[in-house]
Amino acid sequence: MNDRKFLRTAHGLALPGAIALSLMSLLLACSEDAPSPERHTIAQDEAPSVPTWVYPGDHVELGWWLASRRNFQPAAKDSAMAAVYDLFLRQASKLFVEDQRMIANRTVQTSTTLSEHGIEENYDAILDKFTELAEFSGRKLLYGELCQHYVNLRMEGKDSNEALADLRSRYQHAP
């Protein structure tokens, strides 16, 4: 199984499981039949904060960071979604000039920029589309440049498929 198929399979398994677990927890919390939990005072560390960006020298697990940003709250360090993002980033770093930190930052920036213009694209969709495009080109690409081209095409009114088709033609026979 190639890396992209594995990533899609892993993400396909992790996301529904995480959603199901969240819904189940919510339902149990709202159930009138559920017994009241005993209250214990337990000393806990504060939940880790999720930085807006990851800077050089930051000691942040990038898969956790993307999973946390996507969920708008800190994710478990060993969550399935964090593991999937780690795999996405490892694969992407083989296909792009930038390192994993920059790929993660640009992915968040691209999603945020599109969202500010009413276009919703999550991180895994962006990573998946762009790694596929880089594999298609047959050479290492600049991730930030690809993100900017994609955003510009989407701002021009093209849908995702049209923008990707334009990018494919641009990078088809890249030297």
Q: Give per-residue pLDDT as tens, 99-127.
A: 999 999 999 999 999 999 999 999 999 99
- Nearest Cα to 64, choosing from 94, 84, 92? 84
Domain ranges of the chain: 3-13+59-171
| Confidence check: pLDDT of 28 > 50 | no
Look at the block and give the residue holding tokens 């189940």. Answer: 24
The mean pLDDT of the chain is 81
Using CB atoms within 10 Å of the CB of residue 49, give its burial: 0 to 12 exposed, 13 to 18 middle, 19+ buried. Answer: exposed
Tell me, what's the pLDDT at 159?
Answer: 97
Distance CA 83, CA 172 (A): 31
Give yes or no for a contact between 121 and 150, defined as CB atoms under 8 angstroms apart: no
Tell me, what's the pLDDT at 141?
Answer: 95
Tell me, what's the pLDDT at 24?
Answer: 40
Instruction: Kindly report the pTM of this predicted structure.
Output: 0.73
